[in-house]
Amino acid sequence: MGVTIVTDVWEPNQALYVFILVSCSLSIFCLPQLSSNSNRTLARTPFDHSLPSSLFRFQRSFLLLYSLSSVMEGLWSVFGEYELSYYGVGREQMVLSLCVGYAAALFLGTFLGMLSDLIGQKKVCLIFCMLHLFVGVWKRIIAHPSVWLASICLSLASSIFSFSFETWMVVEHDKLVYRQDTLNDLFWLMTFTESASFISSQVIANSLVGSYVDKTMLSASTAAVFLAILSIIFITRGWKKDLRTASLKDYRISFNAHIFGDKRVWLLAWAQACVQFSIAVFWILWAPPIVADGQEVHLGLIYPCLLGARMLGSTAFPWFFSGMLSIQPEDCLVYGFIVMGFVLSIVAYDYQEIGVLVALFCLFHACVGLILPSLARLRTMYIPNNLRGGMISLSHSPANAAILFFLLQRGYYQNIENSTIMAFAALGLFSAAGCMYLLKRWGKQRHQNCHKL
């Protein structure tokens, strides 16, 4: 009796892509029509033409710039492992490059948010583009670039990306007109646009892959250089010069009073750190559970499903806070963190079929798409605009420290398993849910004097 060898390659059902696309479209375009009459003035469509022309132009210009920056971020993440394997970088060196990158984000990136508050977000966004431009040009010139230097530059760029554009958007929006509903729209549109741009990065990367690997690497660097130059031109010509509003001494006093001296901000910062840690853990460890049974899987086809689920989750944000289901953001975050924690717990301690794993991962990212703009909204409630960048970058430091620790323990010393790391991420998410519950109880007096009513 012969042995049958299964050679089928597992791929997501194409109907899943159609479902995500149709669901996102219906969620966006059906919201105004299905909103109650009392909330009709709040439930606006994206790019509502009834808004002031200056604010409408700002929305389009900012989201275009954010899309270009997101494509740059996604392009290097897609080509990362492919490039390292091509240059013969071993497993230990890959782990070392990750450790160096997270160490740079921990010891340098933590303070970049405070720097942006002092010198202006526009200048820090230009630094973000310059870092990508430097890495792209350097890889074009040098045949075998240093992994360490590239990892440091790209990690610092990712740190800037995580806080600078949101802070810049809020500050510029506040200069034009402060309306919480239009600001909330931009929060979820940023998450939606970022996810769509990451998918576009994968499309660009696939289109650049050809028969000659050397040309593929050069083409990726050329694309990054082009996007960086285009973003620099757009930033320098699109917005006025930043004005420094406070000295270092005044900033330190204000930071101690509003950030270190407010327990509610500590709760919000811990929740942000937990979600950042869980997202990083997921993207580092999501592939091993899927390929554990030995069946061949096209991970590149699962990647857009996950980002599509994140897009779908972001479109649910206006439904919960501006439409028919008007609830407090703290309540939404409590349930979202609990769901994410249970998903990681199931993955950590119970083997599942590939289809079930993909469904769980999509649910995880749908929650991420809802949670990120919800946290941004809470930051607007509790944190002054001139301290926003410093608070966000500081809240990322516990996540970077934890990731660095687990990378060393798992990658070098083999002291822990992947399931243990996921379990810690799940515990962090459960603790974040507790923080949001406490924040709701303590948040009766919200910080309002830093905004115009």
Residue written as tokens 């769509």?
196
Asked if residue 325 is part of any domain, the answer here is yes
β-sheet bridge partners, residue 10: 297
Render each residue's pLDDT in the chain as its tens digit; 453 residues.
344 344 578 889 889 999 999 999 998 888 765 554 444 444 455 555 556 677 778 888 899 999 999 999 998 887 766 677 666 677 778 888 889 999 999 999 999 999 999 998 889 999 999 999 999 888 888 756 677 888 899 999 999 999 999 999 998 888 776 667 778 889 999 999 999 999 999 888 877 765 455 555 667 788 889 999 999 999 988 666 665 556 888 899 999 999 999 999 999 999 999 999 999 999 999 988 888 777 788 888 999 999 999 999 999 998 887 656 668 888 899 999 999 999 999 998 876 788 899 999 999 999 999 999 999 999 998 999 999 999 999 999 999 999 999 999 988 788 899 999 999 999 999 999 999 999 988 865 444 444 443
Residue of 200, 166, 171 lying closest to 186 (CA atoms):
166
Asked if residue 13 is part of any domain, the answer here is no
Query: What is the rounded distance in angstroms from the CA atom of residue 308 to the CA atom of residue 270?
Result: 27
pLDDT by residue (tens digit) across 25-58?
998 888 765 554 444 444 455 555 556 677 778 8
Asked if residue 74 is part of any domain, the answer here is yes
Asked if residue 59 is part of any domain, the answer here is yes
CATH assignment at residue 435: 1.20.1250.20
Asked if residue 38 is part of any domain, the answer here is no
* Full domain range(s) for residue 400: 54-442
What is the pLDDT at residue 24? 92
Asked if residue 140 is part of any domain, the answer here is yes
Instruction: Using alpha carbons, list the distances in angstroms from residue 73 to 97, 221, 368.
Output: 17, 12, 18
Number of independent structural domains in the chain: 1
Asked if residue 360 is part of any domain, the answer here is yes
pLDDT by residue (tens digit) across 349-359?
876 788 899 99
Asked if residue 239 is part of any domain, the answer here is yes
Model pTM score: 0.90
Instruction: Using alpha carbons, list the distances in angstroms from residue 438 to 88, 432, 444.
Output: 50, 10, 11
CB 332 within 8 A of CB 271: no
What is the pLDDT at residue 44? 52
Residue of 98, 87, 91 lying closest to 403 (CA atoms):
98
